[in-house]
Structure 1
Amino acid sequence: MPDITALPGFYRIAEADPGRRAVIDADGTVTTYGELLARVNQVSHGLRARGLAEGDVVAGVLPNGLDAVVMLMATGQAGLYYVPVNWHLTVPEIAYIMADCDAGIVVADRDHPVAGALIGTAGLAEGQPVTAPRGRSAGAVMWYTSGTTGFPKGVQRPLSGAEPEATLPLVTWFLGEVCDLRPGDGVHLVTSPMYHSAPCAHTMFALHLGHSVVIAPRFDPVAILALIERYRVTNTMMVPTMFHRLLRLPAEVRDAYDVSSLRQVIHTGAACPVAVKRGIMDWWGPVLYEYYGSTESTIAFSVKPHDWLEHPGTVGRPAPGFEARILDEDGEEVPAGEPGMIYIRSGLGGFTYRKDPAKTASSMRGEWYAPGDIGYLDKDGFLFLCDRRTDLIISGGVNIYPAEIEAALLEHPAVADVAVIGVPDEEWGHSVVALVQPAPGPRPSPEELLEHLGPRLARFKHPRIIEFRDELPRTPTGKLSRSKVREDYLSG
């Protein structure tokens, strides 16, 4: 078996060791590196045959599986932007993203309701050569993320114009510094939808490191433990909700599975309660690696297990290539231990929101980006999060934006006003609650309002609780006071 540890990424590894196990799909089907590269090359040729050139956009409405992996790696060597789309979104929500990103081609699973006029990976690959395309250049993933308006925007980074292998040594070094991930014979378990930035990125990282990728059909705690044991999984990515569910398993179930192969369990996406993180490390050992950032900033802060145990609750120190400042409302730097707005500066390259220079500018203070969170640095430079400046709700590691839900509810004729808030939830981190001020006349039932939301919003955005209020609190200028709404609800 050839030594792949010095090879720069997936494409070169697949050429050198085609029999290496690359992907174990949700149904157990195994694809080797050589087979995957052949399909990737065919799809790259197919995209070019349909007129796509460097800098163009391809969107994918694909469930977790081999096709999603193929699209990531095919666009990654064809100089294209790839937009992974949440397949749980409604048809109008998907249509908005398609129009905003100017997708030249939309690749979809044949069973998806919007797939009628779209193409699958088989259609792109048909009749195409399995050899590498000429003039290969690095592509980039353009994930869509919502702002406080609730309308998603593409986070776009400039393309290098160089072949993919040119930047991969830096990626490999960065992953080693942050997560202790190294090239070699690792096994990565995909536990979350790959339309989210972190699970998607870690799938690519795993292949560029020469690891095998095991795709879980869905997150089920017992099934996840079984996959870890069966495939001797060495690294995975989870969100705190998953830890909570795993810890709720009876002791005899937990003890029935061998998880000793785990070396790196990376988590991000939401604050992890200290007790939950300790509980997982008591069970799995000191293998939890945490990082904090965003789709825009990527991995800005990181913390390894032993550093976290010495500073419980931290999300880490600035990652290599990043600087951090904590500023007050006047833009002045605050001393250690004092909360303020978090600002990040990266030497690894910036981003823009596609088609929205005003939004890009509003998120920056010069070269410094504000993720929208409030936190403080301790005397050793470790960051602790306090709260979000925006009204973002994070439930199960997924971002949910109140303004989008409020706009949909206000379309109902019986709703005069509404405030959507996130309230603490032991399992999910936060739950979505809608407080509705009804219009004069018959009051709608919560069930009626949820039915109204059905065709407008994906189900994961639906409020878990809908309550009615005769009046909602407002500021002296008449603006809805969401903070007062939240305070009144929690105190009640």
Structure 2
Amino acid sequence: MKGSTAYRSIQKRGLHIGLLPEMAAAVNPTTPITLDHDLAVFPDAGRRLTVARYAEHVDDLAARLWAAGVRPDEHVVLYKTANADHWMLAAAVSRIGAVVVNLSPTLDAATAAVLIERVHRPTLLTDGAKLDVLAEVPLADITRRVITSAGDRPGARSLAEFAGSPRVRPVVRPIDEAAVITHTSGTTGTPKLVVHTPRTQAIRLLPQWRLLSLARKKQTVAIHIPFVHSRMVAAMSLALLKEFPVLLMKEAAPADVAEQLIEHRPWLIEALPNSLMEWEGLAEDPRAPFGPVKVFSSTFDAIHPGTMSKLLNASDRRGALFFQIYGQSEVGPAVGRAYFRSLAHKANGRCVGWAMPKGAARVRVVSRDGRTPSETNPGFIEVAWDGLAKTYFAEQQRYDTNRDGEWWRTGDVGYRTKLGCLHMLDREVDMIPGVRSSLEVEDVVLGRLDELSELVLVEGPDSEPIPVICTDGDRPLDRARWRAAVADFPQLGEPVQIPQAELPRTATLKVQRNALAHWFQEQLTDRT
């Protein structure tokens, strides 16, 4: 089987992650999968696998889950310590026709319990460390059974007990029924559970299948995104079907990342915007860890132009580019654009891209007040295509409020230029009176002050924009440099500096602006 043949099959029959490793092995069983950590569920497997071996592990785990009592149509909540085996376990759940519900390991016990209960007595697939986190949660009352992938605990069965179980035939879920459930970032409260089907997952592969088709050689792809995220489904599917060697990275510390990049010399890196921002300093590393990288890719948030420029200038490859895709869990990839070395530093960070080729998502901007959307009067950004998520699990009404026929309201506001570029200015809930775009202000000031590691505007008690800042190494802010950098923004209040570690973040490292604003209000209350 060729990768293109497998891809056409997926587009026709849907993407079933339980079948994907087997399909990829049929394309090329020797495609390497390398890890920067050990698999918790298979600690003796080593860090260098092939896709054939990977598929064998998935089949083994599927047999163990079946022996443990999991059956088709059941929901299996997967909440465990961050590890590449999460995606392997998710594929195993899918392989026996169950519906996997991916919860981020960054969720606290209370939030995880709310989401587990929302699914209505699912199987909980977890590990000893997370069961310790959930120690005060009445799991016997809200789950059907508890299974651990690593670590023994009372009241739970371990997958290790079922080693050697007879293999079972894969069960293929209907193309338009729930297959994988992920959750939103939770920037505005308790996360929503987003339902993906085999059809919607397959359609979302289209834009980047075309991008990867530009590659002339089968070169290493480094992936550093949460293993639980819906984007991980597409990233793994695309890389394996294209026969690209894969480097799956869990560690985020710049020193660890540098070692992996130097050893494996990836052609492409896909990572979170905030991770890339954290790695900027590696551009100065004399070992040139970014030297072999041809393509930097990010699909979560718009990224600061200064970060793109530093990364591209650290590449030794001709024609190196930064490919940015704007989207969200509910819609997948919506628009995209490429930035090149010569112009990245001049980029408008609010320009998130243009509509992608035929068959991809369509985007429109709808007026908020009856006037035509523009730079000074942004409208609601909406997306339409067959890749939209099917629903919010157990919250259909909440889903329906965002849906207008074929169009999905993203919650972002922006406008389109005469050339068709979509500019995303802010989340609607984060808009601050007197500020055209908080994100734009943050882009500009971060570009002027290299010592800032993060800048977030929040609304103060009198509706004034308050800059909350973090600096490299948590060094004190130079107030004179700050005043010069923000001279164009007289509406800003005095900056509030906090340690980088205290920034409230989501699983994809987005700053939780509501939580930050609430923290700020509490600080003011305490002072008075």
1:297 aligned residue: 331
Quote the residue 1:380 is aligned against. 419
Q: TM-score, normalised by structure 1?
A: 0.71
Task: Tell me if structure 2 keeps the 8 A contact 1:5–1:184.
Answer: no
CA distance in 1 between partners of 2:98 and 2:193 (Å): 14
Range 139-148 or range 222-231, more displaced: 139-148
SS at match of 1:97: helix
Quote how far apart the aligned CAs of 1:26 are: 1.2
Work out the CA distance in 1 between the residues paired with 2:5 and 2:34.
Answer: 21
Secondary structure of residue in 2 paired with 1:119:
strand
Of 328, 344, 363, the residue aligned with 2:402 is: 363
C-alpha displacement of 1:299 = 0.8
- Map 1:20-419 to 2 at 5 A: 20-27=31-38, 29-102=47-120, 104-112=122-130, 113-114=132-133, 118-121=146-149, 123-124=158-159, 126-130=163-167, 132-133=169-170, 140-145=179-184, 150-159=189-198, 172-177=205-210, 185-199=218-232, 201-249=234-282, 251=284, 253=285, 255-284=286-315, 286-306=320-340, 309=344, 312-313=348-349, 314-319=351-356, 320-330=359-369, 334=373, 339-391=378-430
Cα deviation, 1:104-123, whole Å, max 9, x if unaligned, reads 32111233225787313474
1:340–1:376 Cα contact (<8 Å) kept = yes
Contact 1:262 1:287 (8 Å CA) reproduced: no
Q: Name the counterpart of 1:483.
A: none
The amino acid that maps onto 1:316 is G
Distance 1:131 1:101, change over 3 A: closer
How many residue pairs match? The answer is 423
Distance 1:171 1:199, change over 3 A: closer
Q: Is the 8 A contact 2:412 2:427 kept in 1?
A: yes
Residue matched to 2:524: 468
Tell me how far apart the structure 2 counterparts of residues 221 and 209 of structure 1 sit (CA, whole Å). 28
Shift of 1:19: 3.8
**How high is the sequence identity, in percent, across the aligned residues?**
19
- Unaligned 5+ segments in structure 2 are 8-19, 39-45, 140-145, 151-157, 432-437, 443-451, 473-497
> Could you report, residue by residue, the CA deviation over 1:195-222 in whole angstroms, capped at 9, with x for unpaired residues?
3333454234433433333233421123
Distance verdict in 2 for CA 1:205–1:389, change over 3 Å: same
Aligned equivalent of 1:480: none
How far apart, CA to CA, are the structure 2 residues paired with 1:11 and 1:182? Answer: 24
Greater shift in the superposed pair: 108-117 or 219-228: 108-117
* Farther-moved stretch of structure 1 (5-14 vs 35-44): 5-14
- 2:434 maps to none
- Contact 1:52 1:104 (8 Å CA) reproduced: no
- Report the 3-state secondary structure (helix = DSSP H, G, I; strand = E; otherwise coil) of the residue aligned with 1:92: helix
Separation (CA, whole Å) in 2 of partners of 1:181 and 1:131: 38
Structure 1: how far apart are the matches of 2:368 and 2:186? 21
**Letter matched to residue 317 of structure 1:** W
Residue 353 of structure 2 aligns with an amino acid whose one-letter code is: G
Q: Contact 2:195/2:392 (CA < 8 Å) preserved in 1?
A: yes
Segments of 5+ residues of structure 1 without an aligned counterpart are: 403-416, 429-446, 473-492
Greater mean deviation of Cα atoms: 374-383 or 236-245: 236-245
Deviation at 1:98, TM superposition (A): 0.8
Cα-to-partner distance string for 1:320-344 (whole Å, 9 max, x where unaligned) = 4221111222466536885211111
1:186, 1:234 within 8 Å by CA — same for their partners in 2?
yes
Provide the rounded CA distance (Å) in 1 between the counterparts of 2:369 and 2:212. 35
Residue 384 of structure 1 aligns to a residue in which SS? strand
Residue 49 (structure 1) shift: 4.3
CA positional deviation for 1:79: 3.4
- The match for 1:478 is none
**Distance in 1 (alpha carbons) for counterparts of 2:73 and 2:466:** 38
> CA separation in 2, counterparts of 1:44 and 1:109?
17
Q: What is the TM-score when the length of structure 2 is the normalising length?
A: 0.67
1:355 positional shift = 1.2
Structure 1 residues 419-428 or 125-134, which shifts more? 419-428
